[in-house]
Chains A and B, each alone.
Chain A
């Protein structure tokens, strides 16, 4: 395919925050526009205004089906976002199997699953939290034991396909098969993986999967719950018969059509993503690591999304890095406490045991097919002086390295 060459924003800025959200592809916008004006009908209507819209929904459903490698297009349920798909999946499993009151998930999930599970714990459900090692990897033996011991009580296993912060990929297909053998439902939050990792759900044991449109160049406000045929299901939203009664509410037609087109494009760009984008990501990481002392990549670098790299810069704070990057027109994100307004750095960094000296200074660079090698060169040039500037300000840093014993040299009078 021809590599897209357009600059991300049309300005001179470098956008490396595609795990947060992506630009809507112009081809997607074009596909959507008629559905605001000419084809405004309600797909549930009998007349021709609605009828043609209904056919467009069917086409979009098939486009999503193709990207996921699902067996039937009816397994695609459109939702308003990835979070809704996650909530629907987990709550459905609990409702459909009231005798099962336990959940297996991981400590590094996205808040869409994490917060929901914490809430369910307060509500009396038991949540088994799978831990990760220093590279963010799961222990399959612990998981296997858990399935064997508690299997009949587990309503659902929910494990993300790829981590949004580090890009680390979990072996969800294997985990789904293990769950199926223990007769336990399996859901995966694949919001970051769809479009970057080839999928063939028909050949897998995955029962449910969540995806979000705006992570793959479709607009915000549309998501999908993949629901394998035969999976017991209870809807979250009840009302009209839309989505075969599995998700009531008039369809967000324009966005669904856009998502369909975006899935088709993602399919075409899958190889580009895994070769060219990956090469840019590798170049970026290599360039930064060789130019900046005291920094390291986090997560499982051998086994991660092709577009993501997360680098921890020791002894400086992430938000300050982002502000200085932003000043030179580079957009990225951070797992520091200060960027989220909480007191703890990212739960993903803490779960991997990244020391505080580094966890507050983690920066995630997430690329897309709209980035260019020139942009990457620019970032590689911009980062080292920013890090040096902030280290010069830091009480934990002396001339050309960290102070020997932070506990001793920087000693607040209270503990």
Chain B
């Protein structure tokens, strides 16, 4: 049995506002019987003030789904629709004194039902942007779809990358096998092979860090040095009808755009690791070089204008 808090149990055994509402002003339906949980949230809304005067629910689902629905109706009563929209799934979970990671989706469903109900009241179409996959990391409740999307969006290559970007695998590490399988599958889409040793190589590089000179550089100095390295390798790449440009810098990650003959070719990873090595030497710190398609970096990080 799950380790539910006393509050979860209390709301499950004595759900508040569990009933069919007569002539509701707003209805929010989310979930489906296939998924094993479904929630209908109904609201009475004051037409002038948009204050939620009454909230009721019907839920098909497990203990935490019912408890999440129950607590949600309590949270939003008396709030205006705009105030209610600020309620996050974390608020719902907190109000229940926490939920097990596998059950966090129950609180997400509550928030979604609320958004759907508000959209329904305002005559808007609410779209669900939350696709759920099989739960991979149980410590931080990260599912497969989330990991896949993050790998694609950020060109991740190692389990360590995935942990840094999504937290998945950062706890007990039992899911590392699963993350490696996802990496293998996603990287294969672009014809790349997953290199399980990349993390170790990176760790090794990291260990040498203290020996390197020039720690504590200013951001401007760092970017200048990064640019110098890029400029230094460009002639060599251009000879092979390729090129590399700096796209962005985010902490220890340098995003570059490989073009021409070197992009997509098998030497690309060699090129990238070569550039990475030179940058680490020039900056005296661990640097991760990540190749991204042109224009893709904006979505990954906030772009940093590089002085010419």
Contact B59 A414 (CB under 8 A): no
Most buried by A among B18, B60, B64, B132: B60
Flag if A320 contacts B62 (CB, 8 Å): yes
Let me know if A248 is at the binding interface, CB within 8 A. Answer: no
Closest to A356 in B: B34
Q: Is the interface of B mostly helix, strand, loop or mixed?
A: mixed
CB pair B18–A393 under 8 Å, yes or no, is yes
Q: Which residues of B contact A320 (CB under 8 A)?
A: 12, 61-63, 65-66
Q: Scan residues 386-401 of chain A and give those whose CB is less than 8 A from a CB of chain B.
A: 392-396
Check B15 against A337 for contact (C-beta < 8 Å): no
List A contacts of B116 (CB < 8 A): 412-413
Q: In A320-356, which residues have CB < 8 Å from any B CB?
A: 320, 322-324, 326-327, 336-339, 341-343, 345, 356
Given contacts A319-B62, A341-B138, A393-B18, contact A326 B36 (CB under 8 A): no
A-B contacts counted at CB < 8 A amount to 102
Report how far A327 CA is from B13 CA in the complex, Å.
9
Nearest residue (CB) in A for B119 is A413
| A412 and B29 contact, CB distance less than 8 A | yes
| Given the contacts A320-B61, A338-B62, A413-B116, A360 and B36 also touching, CB distance less than 8 Å | yes
Closest to B115 in A: A413
- B125 on the interface (CB 8 Å rule)? yes
Contact status A394-B134, CB under 8 Å: no
In the complex, which of the residues A343, A357, A392, A396 has the most CB atoms of chain B within 10 Å of its own CB atom? Answer: A343
- B122-137: contact bitstring with A at CB < 8 Å (1 yes, 0 no)? 0001111000111100
Please count how many residues in chain A sit with their CB below 8 Å of the partner chain's CB atoms: 33
- Sorting the interface of chain B by its residue count into under 10, 10 to 19, 20 to 34 or 35 or more gives 35 or more
B135 nearest in chain A by CB position: A341
CB distance A394 to B58 under 8 Å?
Answer: yes
Residue of A nearest to B127 (CB): A414
Alpha-carbon separation in the docked complex, A339 to B103 (Å): 10
Specify which chain B residues have a CB less than 8 angstroms from the CB of A322 in the assembled complex.
1
CA–CA, A324 and B66, complex, Å: 12
Known: A320-B62, A320-B63, A413-B125. A343 touches B134 (CB 8 A): yes
A113 at the interface (CB under 8 A from B): no
Pick from A326, A356, A413: contact of B126, CB under 8 Å:
A413
User: With A356-B33, A395-B38 as given contacts, are A338 and B61 in contact (CB-CB < 8 Å)?
Assistant: yes
Partner of B60, one of A315, A339, A411, A414: A315
Enumerate chain B residues within 8 angstroms of A245, measured Cβ to Cβ.
none
Q: Which residue of B lies closest to A355 (CB)?
A: B33
Return chain B residues, CB-CB under 8 Å to A360.
33, 36, 60
Residue contact A317 to B29, C-beta cutoff 8 Å? no
Instruction: State whether A357 touches B33 (Cβ < 8 A).
Output: yes
Is B157's beta carbon under 8 Å from chain A?
Answer: no
**Contact A317/B13 with A412-B31, A412-B32, A413-B125 known, Cβ cut-off 8 Å:** no
Taking A317-B60, A395-B29, A396-B60 as contacts, is the C-beta distance between A338 and B40 under 8 angstroms? no
B127: A residues at CB distance < 8 A: 413-414
The answer for the CA separation of A360 and B36 in the assembled complex, in Å, is 6
List the B residue with the shortest CB-CB distance to A322: B1
Q: What residues on B are CB-neighbors of A193 within 8 Å?
A: none
B39 at the interface (CB under 8 A from A): yes
Interface residues of A in 292-319 (CB under 8 A from B): 315-319
CA–CA, A360 and B119, complex, Å: 30
A345 touches B36 (CB 8 A): yes
B292 within 8 Å of A (CB atoms): no
Q: Does B102 contact A (CB under 8 A)?
A: yes
Most buried by A among B61, B102, B127, B128: B61
Contact of A198 with B by CB under 8 A: no
Bound together, the chains give a CA A357 to CA B62 distance in angstroms of 14
With contacts A393-B18, A393-B58, A395-B58 taken as known, whether A413 is within 8 angstroms of B63 at the C-beta atoms is no
Cα separation A345 to B32 with both chains bound (whole Å): 13
* Cα–Cα, bound, A41→B35 (Å): 54
* Nearest B-chain residue to A392, judged by Cβ: B18
Q: Does B30 contact A (CB under 8 A)?
A: yes
Listed in ascending order, the chain A residues whose CB lies under 8 Å from chain B are: 315-320, 322-324, 326-327, 336-339, 341-343, 345, 356-357, 360, 392-396, 406, 410-414
Add 16 more A-B contacts to A315-B60, A396-B33, A413-B119 (CB < 8 A).
Answer: A317-B62, A320-B66, A324-B13, A326-B1, A338-B36, A338-B65, A343-B135, A356-B34, A393-B18, A393-B58, A393-B60, A395-B58, A410-B38, A412-B30, A413-B120, A414-B127
B interface, CB within 8 angstroms of A: 1-2, 9, 12-13, 15, 18, 29-40, 58-66, 102-103, 116, 119-120, 125-128, 132-135, 138
Provide 15 A-B residue pairs closer than 8 Å at the C-beta atoms, listed in order of the A residue: A315-B60, A320-B63, A336-B36, A338-B36, A338-B37, A338-B65, A339-B62, A393-B58, A394-B59, A394-B60, A395-B29, A410-B29, A410-B40, A412-B116, A413-B126
